Amino acid sequence: MRLPSVAKAVLGLIGAALIFFGIAFLGAAIAYALLPRLGVAGSAAVTGLILLLPPCIWGVAAAFGRPEDLSRRRGPTVESAVVTLLGSIAREKPLLAILGAAFFGAAEVLLRRKSRQSKAGRNFK
């Protein structure tokens, strides 16, 4: 069964929300389990450490690990996936594509204007 790309995006957001709330409830359960032994502040600190330490260790290992050889990597990249997603949205909802392009164009103009102003401000100080 083929789902439209908007439905896939909504399902992805629902999945992300489920993961977010699942981790939040897991943290609450750990904190409540540690509450009698460590108190409110201690249980919150230990729970935060338990939930934040594994991603931090993974991030450090990924940052200082051996870099991946991109020439061996074959298959779709993130950029091609984004282009495919935006292309399918444009086919299904052309007005949404036009509004999105206008939004990104306006954001680019504003960001360029800010960068020019910040560069000009640095020269006069």
* Same-domain pairing of 53 and 22: yes
* Same-domain pairing of 47 and 11: yes
* Same-domain pairing of 3 and 54: yes
Residue 118 has pLDDT above 70, yes or no: no
**Can you give the residue range of the structural domain that contains 17?**
1-65
* Same-domain pairing of 18 and 58: yes
Q: What is the pLDDT of residues 75-89, one digit of tens each?
A: 666 667 777 877 787
Counting the structural domains of the chain, the total is 2
Average pLDDT of the residues in 106-115: 78
Q: State the pTM of this model.
A: 0.44
pLDDT band at 71 (very low <50, low <70, confident <90, very high): low
* Same-domain pairing of 2 and 58: yes
Cβ-in-10-Å burial (0-12, 13-18, 19+) of 28 comes to exposed
Q: Does any domain span residue 72?
A: no
* Same-domain pairing of 3 and 30: yes
